[in-house]
A and B are shown apart, each in its own frame.
Chain A
Amino acid sequence: MPKKINKREFLKSCFLGAGAATLGLDAMESWASGLLKSDPAGPADDKLWKWSREAVFYAPTARGIKCTLCPNMCNLREGETSICRTRVVNGGKLHTIAYGNPCSVHVDPIEKKPLYHFLPGSRSYSIATAGCNFACRYCQNWEISQVSPKDTRNDDLMPQKVVEEAITGKCTTIAYTYSEPVIFYEYMYDTARIARSKGVKNLMISNGFINEKPLQMLCQHIDAANIDLKAFTDDIYSRLCGGSLNPVQNTLKILKSEQVWFEITCLIVPGWNDDMQHIALMCDWLLANGLESYPLHFSRFHPMYKLVRLPATPLTTLEKARNIALIKGMKYVYIGNVPGSGYENTVCHYCKKTLIERKGFTIISNHISGSACKFCKTKIPGVWG
């Protein structure tokens, strides 16, 4: 039997047929935008500078050089720049131009990352260089993530100096954050190595879009991570952020196998990734891979950057997602960006008593004693000091 369509669908079909000719618009838009781009990427601007180092992960190809750091696998000719805008081919070698030149340096509470099960109440010395291997439509740091380090005003802060500053500022951790730390891999790696030798811990706040080998190498020096799980289908990943799901799933598995503590953030954007079936599938996958003890943060979207014509995520949607996750068996599920919701407290997954009461970025009370619940003595997953 033919499927019945309603009036609206009929009307839409008729007009879309008529308007199909305009679908070539995407191509035209790209063309027109190309003419007007102010992006200064080009040979003259991609020359090496003080803040360049030879990249660690790359391989020669027939075309030139292939960057093997992240799944974008940019295949570049001499003088070309990678998608993330931080890697250039010069003299037949791949170089990073994001080494020791952060454009953003701040001290934040660790809860802001968010990391709720890692040294709660501590302060984190946070740095970022320009560039990103994604192009999220809602990026709140788009002014640094969507440009090259050559376009930003940067500090001169080599790894040794970063660690010194963190120690001077009484920060117990250094967070590689804001834009995307994978794209300043060499800088992060060297800093983390020095920091760890001085007793400062390292946090990677990332989209998790990194290849296996670089990640495994990095895990030797990283203490904790927060990984964004932006959607649970490749299609949405691609249209919303310009990435894909599988590499991020791999990252989570590797972090677990390398015993690096991590938490997962899922920003729910209305009309994009708020399908509860997808949330359920995501939780199923997390459980199937033994990740139920790693905290999951559902975060509220607010209109930002290019996604300004959407409303904020309804609290009910976040609550539904949280309930699904809890029913599926996730042990620690939080809701972020909703002050006063009460979903920011840590509750023992066994006795259900409140262990850490949070108000904003402040710890009101902490009932975790020696990594265990003070009430029922159950071990609480995380790094507690």
Chain B
Amino acid sequence: MKKDNGYKISLFLLGFVTMPVQIILLREFMVVFGGNELIIGILLADWLILTATGAFLAGRFSKSTKECPSHPPHPPVIPLDNPTNLNLNLNLNFFPILPLLTFILLYLLRPVIFPPGAMVSLPAIWLLTALLLLPFCLLSGWLFTRLAGHLSSLKRENFTGRAYALESVGSILGGALFSFVLVFFFDGYWSLVIIALTTWLVLMIMNLLNNGWKKAILALSLMILTVASSVWFSLPRSVQQELFPGQTLVFAKDSPYGKVVVTKNDGQVNLFYNGIPVYHSDQQMQDEESVHYALLQRQNPEQVLAISGGLKGITEQILKYPSIRHVDYVEIDPWLVRSEMTYLGSVEGDKVQVSFMDARRFLSTVTTYYDMILVNLPEPLSAQVNRCYTYEFFLKAREHLHPGGVLCTALPATTNYIGGASMTANATLFKTLQQVFPNVLIIPGGKNFFLASDSLLTGAIGRIAELRGISNDYVNQYYMDDASIVSRGAYILEQLNTTSPVNRDDRPVSYLSQLQYWMSYFNLNLTWILLGIAGLFLLFFIMLNPIRLGLFTAGFVTAGAEYILILAIQVFFGYAYFLMGIIFVLFMTGLALGAMFGKSIFAGDKHLLNWLVFGTGVFTLMMSALIRVPGLAGAGSLLVAAVFSLLVLCLAFLMGTVFSHGSVLYRGRYEKVSGDAYSADLIGSAFGLMILSMVLVPLLGLRLSCLVMSLVAFVAAARLSLDKNKL
């Protein structure tokens, strides 16, 4: 086997392992800590920054390769089976086992460090995530730099760009293997095991071909040890049980959308979704509130659409009304409904139709008109959930309501006082609903229920419950003090700021206010965190040398633009698992193609980098023009899909080209070159994701965020032009 092939395969394996591990571990971290936009941002940033650190350190402290890109007389070549390289081989072998250990530690440490069932504060999440991801991410960055450096030495040319392409190809295969195959058959832990086994198998064959049978035995031993210990210790069930003290874990399933867990305690069945309890047996109080505040408003409701909330509990309440003819129940994750039907019981009769679909997608596909639309989703803490709290969503919902129909949605209760952060969140939802419906009423209960309609609404719930003769345990004349409902609802209304912004698809302000509310649980100030991130970004922007600045900026713009594109796609098409998968494959393909061929297409000298960075700015400028949400929404979905696919592909291709070209401009040892280039790109990406998701998009909206990114790219390009002599 040719030595350079060994390195190439290793780079491929690096991507093959890293990408699915990233997807799986981030999913697990979100299950353990929660999945709002801030936590997702922190997790991704931790990941990227640690990997960048590994790559950077490897470039600084590795002494094994010495080479300048300009004149390579006789570079020292260190083959894979060279003793110096024994560490590299060992590291490659131990690399796939680290995610498994991280997985186990995550579940075991959570209940030891943090109180049972309690939310964890952001600083603690940040610290624990960083500690747990440290070994894997550092090693992954370190391996990239070392492998790319060795390959460059062997090829006697700067191979960093192509190394990046090879890693990207590995990422495509690894990511696709998990997202399109493994996720349907295995849980996160066993998917990690399969990825590890595949990697060891390849390493074993490679070593056997190079007569390295001792190393092949090492890989084989690790394979046997991993499978045997996983089976012996009943992993992952045994560690996942630790998250549910006092309860017995009876079922766990990783679906493409999330993790469903069913537990039992004292005869009560509890259903958790991504670590949060969503329904349990005996929850009449919540079910009744979710249904009757709305349904009692009208004399004879016939058609009802219920979006999530628990199939059995919600539909049983709806079917108490004899006039009901049809109920559509929409849930994105089939496994939620399946688990519920298995452990909580199923729904009888033929009036209920269940659809497994994103709610927005559902509303775009059906032609039915409803008397009631009940939205029982969690509060809009993430951009994805926020799509069902926007002006556009409510507009679409109203199109599907009969005259006099009622929409019901909710936010967490404000009980006896409405604080500053919750006031903003409630005011935004109220204002948004008001833009679509002439009548909006707040009913304070277990949550703050918002009823909206084009006809009059009443807070006299107790009285109409009695009049309609619906038999409830909680929503009845005995519990409902109508005067109190009216006065407490009025109290909330009095406190709401009438100048609150409207939550729109292209300016999702709600999730920022909801995040601020979430932060207030810990008495933390979101503004300081955001200012800190922005300050660090500026520091990097000013301090980096021109080449690093080019890669940093391209990483920033690409990651940010990718975030915006994904958000826009979800707005147009609704969340669709396979569509997201295709977007991911397209992106990685574009990256690989750009890194591999971009340089030959955009032939140019050292000044090309500033033009390429300038190009990313032009690209985002074009995006801001194209993403005119209302305009595109009217176009045929195929055309929209084609436009977005092209955008994703072009964006990634541009980034690949920037990386490939930027890395060529570096001087110094190959490993330093690879380490610097890779780390600058990753740090830029980390900032792109954080700043876009936490600050720019919720504050400025999609289009203005694109403009800000363009501005950043243009300023960076200008600085590169001024500093061209340093390139």
Give the B-binding residues of A (Cβ under 8 A): 7-8, 10-12, 15-16, 18-19, 22-23, 25-26, 28-29, 32-33, 35-39, 103-104, 106-109, 128, 137, 140-144, 146-147, 151-153, 178, 239-240, 269-272, 274, 302-303, 305-312, 314-317, 320, 337-340, 359-362, 364
Contact = CB atoms under 8 A, between A and B. Distances in A.
Given A143-B419, A309-B275, A315 B268 contact: yes
A109 B266 contact: no
A340 to B, nearest CB: 3
B238 to A, nearest CB: 4
A272 B113 contact: no
Interface in B248-266: 263, 265-266
Given A33-B524, A37-B525, A302-B446, A104 B416 contact: yes
B417 A144 contact: yes
Given A106-B488, A270-B246, A306-B118, 13 more contacts: A8-B239, A19-B108, A22-B131, A25-B124, A36-B528, A137-B118, A140-B415, A271-B116, A311-B263, A311-B270, A314-B268, A315-B268, A361-B479
A19 B128 CA distance: 11
B124 A29 contact: yes
Interface string B408-448: 00000111111110100000000000000000000000100
Nearest to A364: B478
A106 B416 contact: yes
B289 to A, nearest CB: 11
Contacts of B247: 270-271, 311
B189 to A, nearest CB: 13
Nearest to B238: A8
A104 B487 CA distance: 13
A33 B522 CA distance: 8
Contact of A143 (B418, B487, B524): B418
Contacts of B316: none
Interface of B: 101, 104-105, 108-109, 112-113, 115-119, 121-124, 126-128, 131, 232-234, 238-239, 241-242, 245-247, 263, 265-268, 270, 275-277, 280, 282-285, 413-420, 422, 446, 473-474, 476-481, 484, 487-488, 491, 495, 520-525, 528-529
A335 B517 CA distance: 32
Given A7-B233, A29-B121, A339-B284, A309 B276 contact: yes
A15 B104 contact: yes
A316 B267 contact: yes
A107 B269 CA distance: 36
A310 B234 contact: no
B123 A36 contact: yes
A314 B265 contact: yes
Contact of A28 (B127, B283, B521): B127
A143 B246 contact: no
A8 B487 CA distance: 54
A15 B416 contact: no
Contacts of A28: 123, 127
A337 B473 CA distance: 11
A17 to B, nearest CB: 11
B472 to A, nearest CB: 8
A145 B196 CA distance: 50
Contact of A15 (B108, B418, B479): B108
A274 B246 contact: yes
Contact of B123 (A16, A33, A361): A33
Contacts of B108: 11-12, 15-16, 19
B417 A103 contact: yes
Contacts of B495: 153
Given A11-B104, A36-B528, A320-B266, A146 B280 contact: no
Contacts of A38: 520, 523-525, 528
A309 B118 contact: yes
